[in-house]
Amino acid sequence: MFNKILVPIDLGAPATWKKACNAAVSLGSDSNAEIHVVCVVPSFGMSLVGSYFPEGAERKAIDETKAKLKEAGADMFPKGVNAKFHVAHGSIYEEIISSANTLGCDAIVMSAHRPELSDYLLGPNAARVVRHAPQSVLVVRD
């Protein structure tokens, strides 16, 4: 049904991405879909905020995330699953959508926590992806 599936993950919350990875494997099993896993390192934002961090801190965070993703990726999927791993940098929901578009993904499978009152007012990243992505989006609740 889908040829390329993007799975955005938070390396700090393995319980949530494990469900999303399993759902992506199931969703893409009929078509032997490529699965692209992306982890987004948020930018420091305004230069004023970035000035409080040592020079090269953002680059170091990106490099550390790549290493952690490579390590986690070894056990993320069963053998035979065609998975590729990526690290993006910037606004989380924007980078998820941008990655899906750049990679030519036709679906996004992502986890989301149960909504709280503040989420209805502000909107979590999953809600923004659902609203703005041109791809089909499956949200897996934890």
Report the number of distinct structural domains present in the chain: 1
pTM listed for this prediction = 0.87
Confidence of residue 122 (pLDDT cuts 50, 70, 90): very low
Q: Which residue has the higher pLDDT, 49 or 137?
A: 137
The phi, psi pair for 99, rounded to 5°, reads -60, -45
The phi, psi pair for 140, rounded to 5°, reads -100, 120
Q: What percent of the chain has pLDDT over 90?
A: 51
Residue 22's Cβ-count burial label (10 Å; 0-12, 13-18, 19+) is middle
Can you give the residue range of the structural domain that contains 80?
4-141
What CATH number does the domain containing 75 carry?
Answer: 3.40.50.620
Q: Indicate the angle between helix axes 125-132 and 92-103, nearest 10 degrees.
A: 40
Q: Is the pLDDT of residue 6 over 80?
A: yes
Q: List pLDDT tens digits, range 48-93.
A: 565 677 788 888 989 999 999 988 888 888 888 889 999 999 999 9
